[in-house]
Amino acid sequence: MKQSAAILGATGLVGRACRDLLLADERYGRVIAIGRREPGRADPKMVVCRVALGNVDALDDPMLGSVDDVFCCLGTTIGKAGSQEVFRRVDLDYVLNAAVFAKRRGARHFLMVTAVGASARSRVFYSRVKGEAEDAVAKVGIECVSIFRPSLILGPRDESRLKERISKSAATALSFAMVGSLTKYRPIEATTIARAMLATATGPAPGVKVYEFEQMMALRSAAKET
């Protein structure tokens, strides 16, 4: 029997890559795209659910049925959010709502994208919120939780930001020097993250597992070989 997946954040950089891979994956017979915006493409096996992510009861529509895997690619930047309050709402509250939705729909596996350095004890607001989101999701009670912690994410974005382009160029140029404990800070392609998520979705072990640069690269390579 084919599986069903739900994806939140299907219009973002990683989310778009995940969406396309899920739709192409024969293991999945149904892909539910959940969010405020249209997912950007149509497909016979994709169900679009446009809903405000701040209301977990509205998000948890029984008509969607059961879901096997939930891919949470939600995330913003403080600059785009406009304030720490809005950033926290998107990267913590909405993510937690997604996990509650996954639990209510019977999902066995919740896969989420956070960021390198995420820790609820961090002094950096961005990293602290990401870490708090990880901890909150882990407490929801989903059997398998996979956490992906990329550094700078590379790929074609809808918007063009000069500072971001400059930082990407600098990070890419310096990535060869990021070895040992610094390897996890190397920039990574959005498609690599998405492929790692899809590879992890196959037969996950119970518990919470974290994947950083090296683990995601290994998963991508393994996926290419199969």
Catalytic residues: 126, 130
Beta bridge partners of 113: 148
Query: Which residue has tokens 């701040």?
Result: 54
For residue 92, give the 3-state DSSP assignment: helix
Beta bridge partners of 154: 189
Q: Distance of CA 3 to CAs 23, 29, 31, 51, 180, Å?
A: 12, 6, 9, 23, 38
Burial class (CB in 10 A: 0-12, 13-18, 19+), 219: buried
Beta bridge partners of 100: none
Quick check: 212 and 188 in contact, CB under 8 A?
no
> What's the DSSP call for residue 93?
I
Nearest alpha-carbon partner for 110 in 120, 95, 130, 129: 95
